[in-house]
Structures are given as C-alpha cells and as structure tokens.
Chain A
C-alpha cells in the first residue's frame, strides 16, 4: 500500500465527480458531485501529508480549511437553490435560463 494507491483512488473519485458535475440535470446533483471532488482533494492532502511529510501536520490543517470552506459553500449554494425553487418551481438546470441571450 504505497502513496500511489491513495493518490490513484483520489484521482478516480475526482474524475467521477467531474463526470457528475458535467452531466447531472438536477442542481442538487451538481452540488453533490462538487462535494465528491472536495473529498477527493482531501484524501490526496492527507495521503501526501502521511507519506511525504510525516513530521508536521500542514496537510491535515489544510484539510480542515477545505472542509470548512466546503460547508460554507454548500450552505450558500443550497439557500440559493431553495430561493430559485421558490420562484421557478423547478431545480433542473435547463429551466434556469432567464439570462439567456
């Protein structure tokens, strides 16, 4: 179980998240895929910290900040989704085209 395996896992989950962001029609599905990408990055950070810099904990501290920022972003995004749903009665991205040219 080397560094490569942890990073390969992180890369695979990240690409699954990219597929989700580009493909989902539901805005909540897109937000969930973004959370997947955040978690893939967190795994990579922890793995690098453990294997390459075992003396200090900067990687894990950075993960704490990523979790916090992800929480803040999820909260704002979800309240936006709720506001849009209240007005538009739909959470599908094709219907959100009011600014379309």
Chain B
C-alpha cells in the first residue's frame, strides 16, 4: 500500500501518453479535441497528485471549462463534409517522427541526473492562500502584465471576429 502513489502515477502517465498520442494521430479532428480534453483532465489529476490543489482546480476551470470549449466550437464550426476522407498527417511525418524521438530520448536521458531526488519530507499543504499572497506580493509585476496580455487578446479576438462588410 505504500506503493499506491507510484501505482497511481504510473496509471496516470500511461493515460496521459495514450491520450496525447490520440491527439496527434487521430484522423477526425473532433476526436483529437475530445482526446485533448481527456489529456488535460489527467494533467489536472497529476497536479493534484503533486500537491498543487489550487492549480488542479484552476486547470480544470480554465483549460477544460474554457479553452477546450472554444476549441470544440471552432472544430464544429469549421468542418467540411469530406473531412473524414482527408489524411491528417502531411508528407514530413517520418522526419518529424525522428526529430520527436531525438528530442524525447535526449530529454529523458538528460533528466537522469535527478534519478535519486526523492520527495522531500514536507507534507503537502493547501496552497491557495500562499499563492494569493505570492501573486499580489512578489509576483505583482507579472500579474499586472498578464492582465495587459489578456486585454490585448480580448481586443484582438473581437477585432478578428468582426464581419467586415464593405
């Protein structure tokens, strides 16, 4: 039973890798989007496993309840009847596969220096209050800058969404 966190971690990483492969290989882009929703839920679960409770809830709220809904909107609005017959991968798939394998294997080998870094004995504590103090304290400048970025994104989205009838 002391292996339970490891078992849960292995199960979640298997689910994440499977759904991620589903995102990049499925022929129907709608199925890719649904697979991405599943992958993001597993990532939220991983955040909870590592003790980031506020982040797990924020991930579900923002990514799944916001970004993925917009993505599903655009997928549903931009479908054409003969999409199921189109291939979804372009001609460079072999080179991309080699490059992805190189990046993946070098990352995994490179991180081996951390193989003996065990978890510290600090018990996970609720993070919401400390995150709030951090955001409005030490991280105030990035916080305000991100609000500017969001404003720019809002204006940009409204601008691109307008129908220019001349």
Contact = CB atoms under 8 A, between A and B. Distances in A.
A–B contact (CB under 8 angstroms): yes
Contacts of B33: 28, 32
- If over half of B's interface residues share one DSSP class (helix, strand or loop), that class is named, otherwise mixed; here it is helix
18 contacts: A1-B6, A3-B114, A8-B108, A14-B104, A23-B93, A25-B87, A25-B88, A26-B29, A32-B23, A39-B39, A42-B43, A50-B119, A51-B119, A58-B138, A60-B54, A70-B67, A82-B160, A94-B90
Contacts of B107: 7-8, 10-12, 14-15
Nearest to B54: A60
B74 A57 contact: no
Interface string B104-121: 100110011011111110
Contacts of A93: 90
Contacts of A42: 43, 47, 59
Interface string A45-88: 01101111011111011011101111111111011111101100
Contact of B108 (A12, A70, A71): A12
B17 A16 contact: yes
A60 B131 contact: yes
A70 B93 CA distance: 26
A16 B36 CA distance: 12
A17 B52 CA distance: 24
A73 B36 CA distance: 17
A83 B59 contact: no
Contacts of B47: 42-43, 46
Given A12-B104, A14-B107, A72-B149, A46 B71 contact: no
